[in-house]
Structure 1
Amino acid sequence: MPYGLVVRFTAQDAEAAADFDRLASQTLEGIRTQEPGTLVYVNHIPEDEPNVRVFYELYENRAAFEQHEEQPHVQRFLAEREQFLVSTEVTFLNEVAGKRPAPAQER
């Protein structure tokens, strides 16, 4: 069963938001090349909230999410992100229905 989450990060200021974006971009390179179970990993800026970032993440299943969390590039992101932030809010999601990318084994 696919497993997802939404994470809302609030940066300290515009400079911290830019630094956070650089860290997230570096992390994304590892996700793209080393995590086949990560189906969607997208960083958004909400309208009219320039210091906020909202990540939407979708994994093939809970195990794929757990593997994601163990990756060195993710561990680095988790360790370094706090210096740029004033808050982090995480919502874990269990899929009910919808349109999403097919798991790797179905492609």
Structure 2
Amino acid sequence: MTLALVVRFDLPDAAAARRFDALLGAALPAVAQEPGTLLYLPHTSPSDPLLRLVYAVYTDHPAHERHNAAPAMAEFLRELPGLEAVVRVEELVPTPS
């Protein structure tokens, strides 16, 4: 079963937002090549310049674990605490029809 996540990052200031964008931007080319990562879409908000959202879909939980362990994403995750972002992860499940 696929795994869909929405990850919200509330950044404390413009400097942290710029650093976040640079770190994630550096990781994106590798993310696009990851087996099992079906969709990985970062977003910004025109009304909240310190908000970043990532919508991601993986083939399964192990694919998400491989994504987090991949060198480019592992570097992003190592740097993230220094940005003092408030991070909220929501796992999404399909609504039964």
Q: Residue 88 of structure 1 corresponds to which residue in structure 2?
A: 87
Matched to 2:29, the amino acid is: E
Counterpart CA distance in 1 for 2:93 and 2:68 is 17
Aligned partner of 1:32: which letter?
A
Unaligned runs of 5+ in 1: 98-107
Q: Which residue of 2 aligns with 1:31?
A: 31
Q: CA deviation at 1:96?
A: 4.1
Q: 3-state DSSP class of the match of 1:91?
A: strand
**For the aligned residues, what is the CA RMSD?**
1.5
Distance (whole Å) between structure 2 residues aligned to residue 15 and residue 56 of structure 1: 23
Aligned residue pairs: how many? Answer: 96
Per the normalisation by structure 2, the TM-score is: 0.88
Q: 2: distance between equivalents of 1:67 and 1:26?
A: 18
Return the offset for 1:79.
0.6
Runs (4 or more) in structure 1 with deviation over 4 Å come to none
Distance 1:95 1:62, change over 3 A: farther
